[in-house]
Chain A
Amino acid sequence: MIINTPTYSISDHVSLDENNGEFDTSPSVYEPAEDTFLMLDVFELDLEQVIKNRLSKTNMTVGSSTKCGPLMVVELGSGFGILTAAISKALSDTLSSIAVGAHCIAVDMNPTACLKTIMTCKLNDVEVDAVRGDLLTWMRRPETTNISNDSNKEVFGPIDILLFNPPYVRGPKGELAPTPRVTKIDTNDEAKYQKLVAVEDAAWLGGGPDGVDVLKRALHQAADLLSEYGVFYALMIDYNYDALVRDEMQARRERADQNIYYDDLNNIELTTFGSSPANRPLVCTRILSRNIIGERLAVYRIYRPIDFN
């Protein structure tokens, strides 16, 4: 077992020792559910070999140790912070023989989710910095900073492992994603559903007509902010992925790219994200999928292929 499920509390109160008080957190943070656990299963399957085969290529520690260097881990829309806690705990525990540790940053628009994330990490005895922000808009750009060892290399971003369980549900009217999340609701209960949909802060179903708008924004940012061998784990529902594939094929057709039919459907090249998409395409590979109460969910690893020259 590489990834242990973190401890978490769904109590409506968050207590932080420096505040002597409690924060009422109900009912605005998305609780860990099947999609969360699918992500954990993917880490179990994929993380160890990603660290060994990819991330240790730039992070290898010189000298006696052969461990992978510090990993920069960022989770978007962290909610309860389960994914961050799980990875951070694994890196300091079951994976500590192959990596020297991680710095974890958890991002959420919802201040209560930021507090929940901090609480979950405390419960699991791991460190996290929470940032209240919109995806990666708060992060420094590689071209604007002075990093000592990047002088004559192609410039990559700082993120080694990026995690996102995005708002993947289609908005009934193609709603855009506004502000914080509400708790999971029963879509069969029509009256309650309509009432909650009216609440403007239902960010979890604010993914636009294909449910994929927020993920696409994240992909644009990730393409510029991932490290050279960095990986982005993202969860999608079947129609999210279909929309990504459709958009990709359309972009290729528009620029008269002949290469339309050669991709394996579980392993597609994405050539439209980031500031220089043509030079540095991303590959999106399905790691694991599962049927969950009428939804077909899958987790993909998005990364740059390793150049073996």
Chain B
Amino acid sequence: MKLLTHNLLSSKSLKGVKVGYPLRIVAKDVKINESKFNKEFVKKIIPKLDWQVFINAAVQIGHNNDLSDELIDDYENNDEFLKKVHHLLVEIEIINGELICPETDRVFPISDGIPNLLLNVNEVP
């Protein structure tokens, strides 16, 4: 699972949870897959992200390399910055670990790179 996907995950469907976002990450096993830098893609995906959630997630898995939790101005022309974002967003893969609901501490396991967000019948409102 990549951080780009993590940016979309929530535990809102759990009974009693109001926001359920973002899920805290505990990464046990992280892999780096080099992939081709697609500048246009990164530039246009940034406005679609919850930036602070993305930066916090990078910190939680121990991979934040000096990006600030305030999005810089004029990032569209800053190749060095965009390459760092590319690396964090799509090259880092969490293989094994846990996602944790911010309100209930319910743990969602990640194994073989796949987060398991299925709920039990008694956890649904």
Contacts and interface: CB of A to CB of B under 8 A. Distances in A.
Interface of A: 16, 18-19, 59, 61-62, 65, 67, 69-70, 72, 100-101, 103, 105, 109, 111, 114-115, 118, 127, 129-134, 137-141, 144-149, 158
A109 B117 CA distance: 9
A114 B117 CA distance: 12
Given A131-B1, A140-B50, 13 more contacts: A16-B112, A18-B95, A18-B113, A59-B44, A69-B45, A72-B48, A118-B113, A129-B2, A130-B114, A131-B9, A133-B116, A138-B13, A144-B10
Nearest to B42: A70
A127 B43 CA distance: 19
Contacts of B8: 105, 139-140, 158
A131 B112 contact: no
A18 B1 CA distance: 13
26 contacts: A61-B40, A62-B76, A101-B38, A101-B40, A101-B41, A103-B4, A103-B90, A105-B5, A105-B8, A114-B114, A132-B114, A138-B117, A139-B9, A139-B10, A140-B9, A140-B12, A140-B22, A140-B50, A144-B19, A144-B21, A146-B51, A147-B47, A147-B49, A147-B50, A149-B47, A158-B8
Contacts, number: 117
A140 B19 CA distance: 8
Contact of A19 (B2, B21, B76, B112): B112
